[in-house]
Amino acid sequence: MDPDILLTLGLVAALLSVPSLVSAWSDRRRPWFALTLALAGGAAIGAALVMAPGRYDPAAIPDVVLATFARLLR
């Protein structure tokens, strides 16, 4: 799988885990889904970083995400 797609999916999963975490915290329940989603996102980001070492610096991540969305929509 393309590392750009893995990085994008990992970032989306990690960002989606935040509302689930807040919801579980406010309902005073355990955040199992948020934890699972965050771990899956972290694993995808880690796999992308291992597959393409040195390719992603923090300033280039928005460009990579936008290019990935553009490539998937074409």
Distance CA 62, CA 69 (A): 11
Answer for the pair 14, 45: CB distance below 8 angstroms, yes or no: yes
For the residues 1-9, what does the mean pLDDT come to? 94
What pLDDT, on the 0 to 100 scale, is given for residue 70? 96
Encode pLDDT of 40-53 as tens digits: 999 999 999 999 98
What pLDDT, on the 0 to 100 scale, is given for residue 4? 95
Could you tell me the residue range of the domain that residue 13 belongs to?
3-73
pLDDT of 63 strictly over 90: yes
Encode pLDDT of 7-38 as tens digits: 999 999 999 999 999 999 999 999 999 999 99
| Exposure letters 5-36 (e unless 16+ CB within 10 A, then b) | ebbbbbbebbeebeebbeebeeeeeebeebee
What pLDDT, on the 0 to 100 scale, is given for residue 40? 98
CA distances from residue 4 to 22, 23, 42 in whole angstroms, order as listed? 28, 30, 14
Query: How many domains is the chain built from?
Result: 1
